[in-house]
A and B are shown apart, each in its own frame.
Chain A
Amino acid sequence: MTSPSRPTSTPSTRRKTINTMTEPTFGFFDQDTKKEIRRALLKAVSLPGYTVPFASREMPIARGWGTGGLQITLSLIEEDDVLKVIDQGCDGSVNAVNIRDFIVATTGVRTTCHTSDATVIQSRHRIPEQPLTENQILVLQVPVPEVLTTVEPDTGRQKDMHAHRDYSRLWVLLYEDTAQFGDSRISSRYPVAVHDHYVMDPSPIPRYDIPRLHNNPALLLFGAGREKRIYAIPPFTTVTPLVFADRPFRIETFDGICCERCGTSGVFFDQVQREDGTHYYCSDTDNCDSMLKRKQNAA
């Protein structure tokens, strides 16, 4: 399997002449908007985990439905990119289909469901099971970019707290939950420290996906359209969840469970309740398809 690679230069041969007065440009945005978002992205990469404010354009889909991720994707995608869009691990869910349709309509890029074939992956709530490579960019849609919101709603004070690396109130919240319930009640979007400095919200990925943020070879970009923030985890960066020294970080475990479709175990599962009981299937549908294919080929 060959590793996908991001285009290194802008090929202009396939770019058609666009009348900017009547037609949207490649990737929906005008060039100034793309420039602004790219500058925010560069700053975000330079300051891992720091939330960079940006103007955040109005998109033809509702704010809170992935407009942050969409703006990042549209500002960096090139003609030769291969796009994958997933929602909760699935390429076929309605939100993923909708966003993919829009990106394709405004760029004409090729799309794929296979993680390994994609150069740009936009995702909601999951990191693909298959390890990412240096040639890939993962764009995560973020509802709440500010990790301190729960303990301090004032944005000015939040900024001060980050500047001083004052995360004491977050620690108190974690402590109170741990004392009462044995663990934090934060199930998804668990706070993480990036490069031993800024503490950030990793978007509502389950805890299972948190360790896979650490030293990931791919560039991880986070976009919050409604909250107008962009932030990043550059490739091979230290990412650690906030945990007490005497309490190990606990991820979701599915002991003794394998996918009813492909037989895989040790991945993140969707739990499905039906009249006849509880069923488990791979949350990452592409991974499930690959496993099933591999199994059939082996048989």
Chain B
Amino acid sequence: MSYVAIKGGTEAITASKALYKKMLAGEFPDIDGVQGQLLFGLDRIMGEGALYSQQMGIRAIEYSGCDLLEAAFYLRAHRSTCRRAGIAETVRTEDIRLVRRISSAFKEIPGGQILGPSSDYLFKLLAEKRPVPGPSTIPVAAARGKVAGALDELRRQERILQLEVDQEEPFDITRATPLPPYPRSSLMQMMARGETGSMLAFAYTSLRGYGDVHPTIGELRLGMVALETTHPFTGNRVTVGEIRVTAVESVGSFKKDPRDGKLRLATGFGFCFGFNETKAIAMSILDLAMTWPSFSIGGEDGVATSPEMIMHHIDGIESMGFTNHFKMPHYVTFQADLHTFNKAKDNKHHD
């Protein structure tokens, strides 16, 4: 496996920038009724607020004055008032109608690389004018059918570590508190709702010194996917709607598989509501670090390899709530603190 460039340079970048500007201007197919300029803020809070509702999301951004963590908090609170309709069928990443799909691991992948709308190659210069719609003839790849995973071939050759298949129902962190050892599904849910910034910080520790070194993005997908569920009365499978999602699979280091002694590569998976590449990449790195700590070249005791650490520190709404509670009066506790301080044995000051 080699790490090679995404080629097709100039035309791809030009089209990508135009498509991105068009998307922000609200002229993007499949993104109906969204205020384009709010797209990434909206996607971020729908993920962290764990409620996919564009209308409520836009209202939350308005109510919070564009403090996005606060906006996610509105959604999370609103979520408590919503009745749960049912459980959707498992979403498969190959069913995502692609808007963007890149692999940093392989130059060519079945189904092709699609640069899609991206701000990656926009120069961050404030002197430039605000994004405006580009030409309207940009082709959109979203109409493709099923596209197989970029790592499928390596997986077929059994060169990738396989997780023990968990046949149990997924743990639901909104209905019960997970306890250690944490079921994988509970960790994945925590991360799917985790705050982008916190996850980024933890993932970054594992990239630069406190754990694994440099994972490669096997595949990153952005697109729309249909949600299906079984109708509670008719029992028929029905499509509820379509959501924007981001999925990432990253590849780490290799080691002997303890099960049969063969060398295998470790992978991590990230998935979230909306277009949020940073979060999905961070999640895949955290998954890699926690699931396969012994495969980390730099050692097993990195910050990000601890499920305890990740489980309890990545929820933005919880950490923001507690951090902000310090603004409340603490007269009684502080008076007690002072009392103890004044009574302390070596407190010469108060003699």
Chain B contacts of A251 at CB under 8 A?
Answer: none
Given A61-B124, A125-B3, A181-B263: A97 touches B9 (CB 8 Å cut-off): yes
- Residues 68-87 of chain A: 1 if any B CB is under 8 Å from the residue's CB, otherwise 0? 00000000000000000001
Chain B contacts of A272 at CB under 8 A?
Answer: 106-108
Q: How far is the CA of A274 from the CA of B6 in the complex (A)?
A: 15
- Residues 81-97 of chain A: 1 if any B CB is under 8 Å from the residue's CB, otherwise 0? 00000011111111111
Q: How far is the CA of A73 from the CA of B9 in the complex (A)?
A: 21
- Residues 102-125 of chain B: 1 if any A CB is under 8 Å from the residue's CB, otherwise 0? 000011111000010000110111
Q: DSSP majority for the B interface?
A: loop
Chain B contacts of A97 at CB under 8 A?
Answer: 9-10, 13
Chain B residue nearest to A227 (CB atoms) is B208
Min CB distance, A203 to chain B, in Å? 12
Given A60-B123, A144-B214: A95 touches B2 (CB 8 Å cut-off): no
Q: How far is the CA of A275 from the CA of B86 in the complex (A)?
A: 40
Q: Which residues of B are interface residues toward A (Cβ below 8 A)?
A: 1-10, 12-13, 106-110, 115, 120-121, 123-125, 153, 208-210, 213-214, 253-254, 256, 263, 297-298
Min CB distance, A296 to chain B, in Å? 22
Chain A contacts of B123 at CB under 8 A?
Answer: 60-61, 102
What is the count of residue pairs linking A and B with beta-carbon distances less than 8 angstroms?
86
Given A88-B5, A283-B4: A270 touches B107 (CB 8 Å cut-off): yes
Chain A residue nearest to B110 (CB atoms) is A275
Contact B298 A94 (CB under 8 A): no
Q: How far is the CA of A272 from the CA of B12 in the complex (A)?
A: 20
Q: How far is the CA of A206 from the CA of B1 in the complex (A)?
A: 12
Q: How far is the CA of A284 from the CA of B218 in the complex (A)?
A: 22
Contact B4 A92 (CB under 8 A): no
Contact A98 B5 (CB under 8 A): no
Chain B contacts of A270 at CB under 8 A?
Answer: 2, 4, 107
Contact A60 B124 (CB under 8 A): yes
Chain A contacts of B5 at CB under 8 A?
Answer: 87-90, 93-96
Interface core residue of A62, A94, A144 (most chain B CB under 10 Å): A94
Chain A contacts of B256 at CB under 8 A?
Answer: 180
Within 8 Å by CB of B10, from A92, A125, A180, A274, lies A92
Contact B2 A90 (CB under 8 A): no
Within 8 Å by CB of B7, from A90, A153, A180, lies A90
Interface residues of A, count at CB 8 A? 39
Within 8 Å by CB of B254, from A149, A185, A275, lies A185
Chain A residue nearest to B5 (CB atoms) is A93
Contact B253 A185 (CB under 8 A): yes
Min CB distance, B283 to chain A, in Å? 18
A128 within 8 A of B: no
Contact B9 A93 (CB under 8 A): yes
A150 within 8 A of B: yes
A151 within 8 A of B: yes
| Listed A/B pairs (12) with beta-carbon separation below 8 Å | A61-B124, A87-B5, A90-B5, A96-B9, A149-B209, A150-B298, A153-B210, A185-B254, A188-B3, A206-B2, A227-B208, A274-B108
Q: How far is the CA of A94 from the CA of B6 in the complex (A)?
A: 6
Chain B contacts of A223 at CB under 8 A?
Answer: none
Contact A150 B213 (CB under 8 A): yes
Chain A contacts of B2 at CB under 8 A?
Answer: 206, 270-271
A17 within 8 A of B: no
Known A149-B213, A227-B208; 10 more pairs at CB < 8 Å = A62-B120, A91-B9, A92-B10, A98-B13, A149-B209, A149-B298, A153-B209, A185-B254, A273-B108, A274-B108
Interface core residue of A89, A91, A93, A125 (most chain B CB under 10 Å): A93
